[in-house]
Every structure is written in structure tokens, then in C-alpha cells.
Chains A and B, each alone.
Chain A
């Protein structure tokens, strides 16, 4: 059923070979979809033409995928994989340079008593802390992700949002987490949202093309687009906004800011994974997914990994294409990791207080 729109646009795709969303070829692939983003009417027709979401089926599927029993060596693998996928996050008004540095140190060696624990994928901070994080991480290979565009509300004028983004990129951010304008999306001004994402993506480019060649994405910072699904009301809206963001050039799509009551849930994440799968089938462009907020236990994290494996398969089971936006999750993963290696249940006294 979900393949219908994939098939509809299949002739437009010249080569269904996978290209990363941040690569040079991706722009060409997106250009093949230019007819649906040509004007407001076409975009609206396309988004509203996406098949409706079967709510009961989606929730049942997400619940079923949460019942897998992952034990022993598979569990050890899943825990290490989950640690390596974490965007270790501190987004508080009370953040200090000291706290950011402490978090960076934790990201490099999550478990000081066991140096075999993998490092996290990125440290996620507010734009003014990017330079601090960058300096603290040095050449550890951990990325610095910065929220931008008037996070978390996104209620600011476009020039302010773009300046916010450019600031973060200039300070050395490797990844930008932008929030969409939910007000515009909910009132049906899809083109505004589309143009805004495109503009922010352009602002992610690093003039002068310095460093960062190891990410494979040239010099531009990777763009994650936050939907704040807790404010989007319906599953249909989540599917629409996923396509909208991917058409606009998002490298990652992310569920939420972690600042509202409802954050990442398994059904919403599954729906976004399916949208990524369908987008990939239609265009060959590979886009990443990042659930954020509310994922606190190892059990939850493993459920998400099962969902990724069953929906998108192994190519997405790396830190390049799947991330957890989390702060307290890491401690639970470390406690479970200690339990697996020592055979004893661990406790909060044996991990850091963040």
C-alpha cells in the first residue's frame, strides 16, 4: 500500500542507487521531484495525496515490534550500538561551559571504569556553547550538534533563524538541529515551511570549505529537521511533514525537541521510518532518523533499534543514519552494560550525575 506513491514517481528516478542526503548527488535526485514542489498548490496536492495512516495498524505494528526479546550477546551488541548512536544532549537555560565540558568528557569515555565502552555520536548543545564543546572534544571524532532557528519554539523571523544557524555553523557545529514552524505547517502554509528548511540548509554551508572532510559531506553542516510531533495532532500530519522535510533537503528527520509533554513515541518513530523507506524507494536518497525525548531505558532503546532494523534494515543501523536524542538514556545503557560484564545489577552510584 505504501509503495503506491513510490511507484507513481518511479519513472522520474533515473537511478535507484542509494545516495546520502548530504551528498552532492542528492540535489539532483530532489530535482527529479521538482514538479511536486514547484508551487504551493502542487505541494499541497502531493502532501494531501499521500495515503492516510492506518492508526490502529500503526500502533499495533509498533507494539508488536516492541515485544522482541533481545538477550545475551545480541543485547550486548545492541547496547554498544545504542551508545554509539546517542546525541548526548544538554539544552537547559542553566547550561554552563563547565557543564558542557563535563558532558563532552563523558561523551568521549562514557564509562570511565571500562574504556571498551564506545563513544557517543555527538554532543548536542545550544549555539552559544558550540565553541566550548568543539574545543573540549578536540579530535575525538565526536560531532558537535547545535540546535538553531529559535529552538524550541521556532517563533522568530526568518532572518533571525538564519543568523542563528550561521552563528552555530561558524562556531564549528557539525550538525544543525532546526525546528520547523509548526504554526505555518498547521495552518497549511506548506510552502513557507519548505522554503524555510531550504534556506536553513543553505545557511548550513560552510563558506570557505574548511575541514570536516571526514564526514564525507564536504564542508556543510548536516541538517536535522525537528517536527515536534507532539504538536502536530495527527499521524497524517507526521507523514506529510516527513515528506515535506525530505523534499526540502533534510539530512535527518527528528521527532521532537524534548521540551513538550509528548515526545518521541514508538508509533510516530515507526511512521517516520516508513516515510524514510518510501522516500528512499522513490528517490534513492538516504535520510536519517532521530527520535528524541522520553527515551530513558535500555529496553526502550532496543525497541527502537528493532524497529529500524525491521523497517529500514541494516544500512540504517549506524550512527550516520540513526540517532537517539537523549541525556538520561546513556546512564541506563551504562548500568546495563556493567550488569552484562559483571553479572551484578548496577546502580546510579556507579554512573555520573549530569
Chain B
């Protein structure tokens, strides 16, 4: 290529996304990312447990503002993410095709489905209270109202088999209700996730709401599962053995745990993931005078 055009190739340095910034790993480590045939694509940062710790601090800091934003505002921002993705569709099609060894048409279908998924979840932001909340009948002169609230910081292990559609399908339901997330990208195909960070950073999503780490899932998941300041963990990207260990570690501070299921990421996602990371607040209000 360079002989033809007379230009030197400009390689992209993939970086982590923590607290709205793009740092390298604290450890300075990187690892080689290859396509499905083993050809080198890029070096991705190999995040350490200290990066995970910093990401949790950033996520906790962002939680107050994000959970306090109106549902309407959060929905608009998620919709904005979809808009930004639409503009960079070709880049993501190329990255997904390389990462998963798909044909261009199949990769395009994945990216389109991912964009649609952002829109689908964006719509849920101001509707989730209607299905998860209720006015409860009680035997007394009270109004009794239950309303869903975000649980806090959610650690998300992104699925290993679907580098982009799967990733979006686990991030969007966690953050749309007001949680903040620390996401560990698919170990062997982190590039679409790291590029998604650039989209998130330019979509009015406050820094720290989504934090993306690339590296060894097992290395990063252990401190996240044991972390006392993480409220929930989504084990989508953990294999059975790892998931068991993580679930034991997560029990120490009673994290909400979403067990891995063999999912079909293309199917209708349903509200399962959305409702997992919610707490129910119940208010008793006296009736009459």
C-alpha cells in the first residue's frame, strides 16, 4: 500500500476508556489482537486490576449525576449514541468483520442490529417505571407506591462470542436505568469495544458512566467481583468455572449477579437484563386529611 500511495500507514493506538478519558493501562502492558485467521490487527492495552479499581472509582463518581438525570435525558443520550454509531457504521462493519471473521454483509447486519438495540433500549428509559413499578393495594389508609431505582455500579463482563452486538446488548440495559458500568471487553476481540468508547465519548454521555477495559477477563473479573463498591455483576462473558468463582466472590457484599446464559444476541432481548440491575423503592403515603 505504502509503495502505491507514497504514504506511511498510520496505525491507531487503542486505549482504555476510564472516567471519560482515554488512558493507557496503568501497568503499561499491551497484548496482540489478531483476526480470526491469526493475522495481527493491533495492540490493545492489557488492563490490570488497578485499572479496574480506577474504573470503579470513576463509575462511582459518575453515578450521582447519571442516576439523577431525568429518564427523558438518559433516553436522549442513548439515542444520540445510536446516531453517532450510524455515522461511523463503515468503521464498525470493518472492525466486526475482522474481529469475528464474518463476511461484510453479515458484519453489517450485526452493526445494524446493534444500532437498533441502542434505539430500542433508549425508548425504555422513561417506560421501565411503568412495568417495574406499581401502586400497591394495602390494607390501610395509604397510597403505597413502588418505583425502580438503579442499583449503582455494575461490572459487566462482555460476551466473548459477539464482540459488538453482544457488547451493546449488555451495556445499554445496564446504563439506561441510571446505573454506571465498568465493562470488560471480549478478550480476543476488544477492538470494536475500544472504538465504541470513542462514540460514547462524543455522545453527551457523562464521563465515567461507561468505562471500558480490555485485557484478560479472568484477571480483571476477580477484583471486580470481590470489590466492595460494586453493586452488581453481569457474568455474560465468563465461562462456567470462572462464573462460579466470581459468584462466590460476589456473595461477600451481596452483589446482584446475572448468570451467564447461552444467549442468541440477535433475538428480541426482552426486559430481563434491564430489570436485573434495579432496586425497588417503596413509599407509604398517608391518604385523606
Contacts and interface: CB of A to CB of B under 8 A. Distances in A.
A349 B151 CA distance: 14
Contacts of B56: 345, 347
Interface in A192-221: none
B227 interface: yes
A345 B60 contact: no
Contacts of A348: 60, 229
Contacts of A350: 228
A349 B226 contact: no
B252 interface: yes
Interface in A319-354: 338, 343-350
Task: Tell me the dominant secondary structure on chain B's binding face.
Answer: helix
Interface in B52-99: 53, 56, 60
Interface size class of A (residues with CB under 8 A): under 10
Contacts of B260: none
Contacts of A338: 228
A343 B226 contact: yes
Contacts of A349: 228-229
Contacts of B249: 344
Contacts of B123: none
A13 to B, nearest CB: 49
Nearest to B224: A345
A346 B226 contact: no
A329 to B, nearest CB: 16
A323 to B, nearest CB: 27
Interface in B36-66: 53, 56, 60
A352 to B, nearest CB: 15
A232 B249 CA distance: 52
B60 A344 contact: no
A57 to B, nearest CB: 28
A347 B60 contact: yes
Nearest to A343: B226
A326 B223 CA distance: 29
Interface in A67-90: none
A262 to B, nearest CB: 23
Interface string A106-129: 000000000000000000000000
A338 B252 CA distance: 14
Contacts of A345: 53, 56, 223, 226-229
A350 B228 CA distance: 8
A333 to B, nearest CB: 16
A179 B201 CA distance: 46
B226 A347 contact: no
Contacts of A347: 56, 60, 227-230
A302 to B, nearest CB: 15
A338 B228 CA distance: 10
B262 to A, nearest CB: 30
A138 to B, nearest CB: 32
B227 to A, nearest CB: 4
Contacts of B60: 347-348
A347 to B, nearest CB: 2
A67 to B, nearest CB: 14
Interface in B234-253: 249, 252
Interface in B244-273: 249, 252
Contacts of B223: 344-345
B252 A344 contact: yes
A346 B223 CA distance: 11
Interface string B89-117: 00000000000000000000000000000
A344 B56 CA distance: 13
Contacts of B227: 344-345, 347
Contacts of A346: 228-229
A348 B59 CA distance: 13
Nearest to A347: B229
A338 B226 CA distance: 13
Contacts of B53: 345
A300 to B, nearest CB: 15
A333 B218 CA distance: 28
B175 to A, nearest CB: 20
Interface string A142-181: 0000000000000000000000000000000000000000
A220 to B, nearest CB: 44
A343 B228 CA distance: 11
Among B53, B227, B249, B252, the most chain A Cβ lie within 10 Å of the Cβ of B227
Interface in B200-230: 223, 226-230
Among A345, A348, A350, the most chain B Cβ lie within 10 Å of the Cβ of A345
Interface of B: 53, 56, 60, 223, 226-230, 249, 252
Listed from nearest, the 9 A-B pairs whose CB atoms lie closest are A347-B229, A344-B226, A345-B227, A347-B228, A346-B228, A345-B53, A344-B228, A350-B228, A345-B223
Given A344-B226, A345-B223, A347-B60, 18 more contacts: A338-B228, A343-B226, A344-B223, A344-B227, A344-B249, A344-B252, A345-B53, A345-B56, A345-B226, A345-B227, A345-B228, A346-B229, A347-B228, A347-B229, A347-B230, A348-B60, A348-B229, A349-B228
14 contacts: A338-B228, A344-B226, A344-B227, A344-B249, A345-B56, A345-B226, A346-B228, A347-B60, A347-B227, A347-B228, A348-B229, A349-B228, A349-B229, A350-B228
